Amino acid sequence: MSKVAISVREIKKSFALSHSGAASLKTALLWWKKKRIEKLEVLRGVSFDVSHGECVALVGRNGAGKSTLLSLLSNIYKPTSGSIEIDGKIAPLLELGAGFHPDLTGLENILFNGMILGLTRKEVMERTPAIVDFAELHNHIDSPVRTYSSGMQARLGFAIAVHVDADILIVDEVLAVGDYAFEKKCYDYIADFRAKGGTILFVSHNPDSVRKVADRCIWLAAGEVKMDGLVEDVLTAYQAAGDER
């Protein structure tokens, strides 16, 4: 294993911006001559490395490109240009319980979601008891997920994601779910994950949680890395910039 877990080089990503919104053949036929598609450049050349065992927080204002960056790392978008290299198994937590089907039971959804996250059927089966334990859903696991509260769904989603045995966790503001006890459990898990040498890259708007878990902080502004360094330094500068406005 090399030292670098995530290596991002000169990543650029632009999206086609639509003003009409409607996607229909009629619009396509009417406007086929005028190809006036505007490009929105979300990332304008971002580079950084994350070493194995490091925990990096991403901060920045809405629309700075944080979520786009995490989606690129999770293989959901292809970059317009630049390269991404990832060493190890990655578990993206962009949304807890994405892909749950409301009519299936908790147990059926565990199988399905675990496989979406890249486990084999056998592996999911072996881990199911641990997942149910972690989510604390013993009494509800045979009920359809539509009967779950949003907190219960999030707990199940988190429990599945942390049982795929990833080396790298990609987390997009999903830890602010569930009650206090469950939140504590999540932070305990993250501490444990880090102690085992796991790598984390996460987005947070909460300075306290950044201080609590991160050992490095990257400030993203308008699609570029504005500052990359120690948590306290970056947060101070970021908050100062926020107060100025």
Partner 1 sequence: MRENFKELWRFRELLFAMVERELRIRYKNSSLGFLWSLLNPLVTVAVMWFVFRFLLGNQTDNYSAYILAAYLPFMFFNMSLMDSAQSVIASLPVVKKVYFPREILPLSAVIANFIHLCLALVVFFVFLFAVWATTGFQVAPFTWKIAYLPLLLIPYLALVTGLALLISAYNVFYEDVKYILSVALYLLFFVTPIMYFSETVYYALKNRPNGQLIYTLYHLNPVSMMSTAFRKALVPPGKIEVIDNGVSTMIGPRPFDYGLFAVTVVASFALLFYGYHTFNRMKWRFVERP
Which residues contact partner 1 by CB under 8 A? 15-18, 21, 23-26, 28, 37, 71, 74-78, 92, 94-95, 98-99, 101, 103-104, 108, 111-112, 115-117, 120-121
* C-beta separation of 115 from 102 below 8 A: no
Residues 6+ apart with CB under 8 A from 19: 38
Residues 6+ apart with CB under 8 A from 29: none
State which residue, 60 or 114, has the beta carbon closest to partner 1: 114
State which residue, 25 or 181, has the beta carbon closest to partner 1: 25
* C-beta separation of 13 from 85 below 8 A: no
- In angstroms, what is the minimal distance from the CB of 53 to partner 1? 24
Residues 6+ apart with CB under 8 A from 46: 8, 10, 11, 12, 65, 69, 82, 220, 223, 224, 225
Distance CA 99, CA 49 (A): 30
- In angstroms, what is the minimal distance from the CB of 172 to partner 1? 9
- In angstroms, what is the minimal distance from the CB of 212 to partner 1? 25
CA 161 to chain centre: 11
- In angstroms, what is the minimal distance from the CB of 21 to partner 1? 8
Could you give the C-alpha distances from 244 to 59, 65, 152, 231, 238, in angstroms and in order? 17, 21, 40, 20, 10
**Closest of 207, 189, 186 to residue 198, by C-alpha:** 189
State which residue, 18 or 150, has the beta carbon closest to partner 1: 18
- In angstroms, what is the minimal distance from the CB of 126 to partner 1? 14
State which residue, 14 or 51, has the beta carbon closest to partner 1: 14
State which residue, 90 or 234, has the beta carbon closest to partner 1: 90
State which residue, 21 or 245, has the beta carbon closest to partner 1: 21
- In angstroms, what is the minimal distance from the CB of 186 to partner 1? 18
